[in-house]
Amino acid sequence: MSELIDLTAAEAAERVRAGETAPAELFEAYRTRAAEDDLNAYTWVAEGAPESNGQAGTPLGGVPVAVKDLFCTEGVPSQSGSRILEGYRPPYTATVVAKLADAGAPLLGKTNQDEFAMGSSNENSGFGPVLNPWDRRRVPGGSSGGSAAAVAAGLAPWAIGTDTGGSIRQPAALCGIVGLKPTYGACSRYGMIAFASSLDQAGPLTRDVTDAALMLRHMIGHDGRDSTSLEFPGEIEVPRSEDLKGIKLGVPEDLTGAEGGVEPGVRESFDQTLALAERLGASIEPCRLPHAPHALSAYYLIAPAEASANLARFDGVRYGLRVDGDRDLVTMYSRTRKVGFGPEVKRRIMLGTYALSSGYYDAYYGTAQKVRTKISEDFRAAFERFDFIVTPTSPSTAFELGAKTDDPLAMYLNDFFTVPMSLAGIPAISIPSALSDGLPVGFQLAGPAFSESRLLDAAYALERAIGFDGSSARA
């Protein structure tokens, strides 16, 4: 059984297809591990595989998937890490979860996350923090921390998460796995409990780049139930490149300069990876993204503004928690929201409501939207000269639990390198590049909209050359 756990998802699917492993055996191996989770990575674990699991010919071979709590799954708790949704079991399933199940990846469990995906450490969950399998005193990153920790620790073969400003890439980096945020619109948002609708995007968290490609292939596509979803031009191809010949990488000096506050170990790994890329044939040059350093400020207006509107629906009437209001409706609303929402969510609702209020709308929200456009234009200009933009994924490795909980601004700085791509709606991938003092470091590559296949190809070539070994986190 432990041998099964050491296979990547693609390898496990191959075994099932070759008739060497029964899908039920694979599901049970992971179900047992997930049920024994001591990282608080799961909020719910399936009791068994669906009967249809592993039907002959499914492309994903019955390899089960762990799903971030915020994806609605029919009849299964879907709480987005919030006490206000405690006990909520939706009557329908999110499109990407249904698509993966149809392709042969059944639901293994729901994973813990920061409440409504607001956070970078998973400490904002209403259901307790998740521990990092590399060092249990440290955070796994967030907000898809449960998904990242589960994959890194071998409690799931692969997982899905969502990324609004970095929540797939940053926990992937801190847990030593691969995380891909697709182009905005590539995957349907139908059934995702919304945080910031113009930014939220689902994507894979996997052990390697091949698994990410395989999974993404079965997530993309237009969905009539999400008006912002798009038909992906072409297929997601299996990555095969062994070198980076002819690839031009841009290093944005506006981001990687001193302001990012990058830890020495992260900087060292970044420089080593650039040297490796050069040996693989890539050319590396500095590039400009002049407005990108303002991305964080723009994001922390736009995301809370959208969140304040999206979260208005949680009022004790329709879903989850209701606190009695002594026969008064407004009292019921406010008591429910007071008890149900955690402090970070309340902070964002207040920030967002303020930024949208009349008299301030143009000064804050309007300005932030203009900055967002400038950032998109910066990327567009950069991609005329470069194939990909590269940065560290996160300025630091996994930090200790509690280290940043009292300082929201320090917490927000974790997103320095990931937020610009989210605002521009472009795809970006994080791959593990090294260990620094025993903790994983992530390397980020970003490309133009819909360049996922090329991005995965380049990441694959680098991954092979880096040879990162994540097996000790599964021990």
Based on the shown chain and the rule CB under 6 A, indicate whether residue 41 belongs to the binding site for ligand GLN.
Answer: no
For the bound state, the minimum distance from the C-beta of residue 201 to ligand GLN, rounded and expressed in Å, comes to 9
Angstrom distances, CA of residue 349 to CA of 193, 194, 304, 307, 322: 16, 13, 6, 7, 19
Strand duo 201-206 + 158-163: pairing: antiparallel
Q: Which residue is nearest to ligand GLN (CB)?
A: 167
Show Cβ contacts of residue 294 under 8 Å, excluding neighbours closer than 6 positions: 371, 374, 375
Based on the shown chain and the rule CB under 6 A, indicate whether residue 115 belongs to the binding site for ligand GLN.
Answer: no
Based on the shown chain and the rule CB under 6 A, indicate whether residue 143 belongs to the binding site for ligand GLN.
Answer: yes
Q: Which of residues 406-435 bind ligand GLN (CB under 6 A)?
A: 415
Based on the shown chain and the rule CB under 6 A, indicate whether residue 119 belongs to the binding site for ligand GLN.
Answer: yes
Q: Which of residues 148-167 bind ligand GLN (CB under 6 A)?
A: 163-167
For the bound state, the minimum distance from the C-beta of residue 168 to ligand GLN, rounded and expressed in Å, comes to 7
What single letter denotes the amino acid at residue 407?
D
Neighbour tally for 86: CB within 10 Å: 14
Q: Which of residues 280-319 bind ligand GLN (CB under 6 A)?
A: 303
Catalytic residue set: 68, 143, 167
Measured CA to CA, the distance from residue 445 to residue 427 in angstroms comes to 9
Using the rule CB under 6 A, give the single segment among 18-26, 113-121, 361-369, 462-470 that binds ligand GLN: 113-121
Q: What angle do CA 119, 128, 86 make, to 5 degrees?
A: 95
For the bound state, the minimum distance from the C-beta of residue 255 to ligand GLN, rounded and expressed in Å, comes to 16
Based on the shown chain and the rule CB under 6 A, indicate whether residue 147 belongs to the binding site for ligand GLN.
Answer: no
Site mask for ligand GLN (CB under 6 A), range 191-230, x = bound: ----x-----------------------------------
For the bound state, the minimum distance from the C-beta of residue 273 to ligand GLN, rounded and expressed in Å, comes to 23
Show Cβ contacts of residue 117 under 8 Å, excluding neighbours closer than 6 positions: 70, 80, 81, 143, 144, 162, 164, 167, 195, 200
For the bound state, the minimum distance from the C-beta of residue 364 to ligand GLN, rounded and expressed in Å, comes to 17
Torsion of CA 291, 440, 458, 256, to 10 degrees: 20
Kindly list the residues in this chain that would bind ligand GLN in the complex (CB under 6 A): 117-120, 143, 163-167, 195, 303, 415
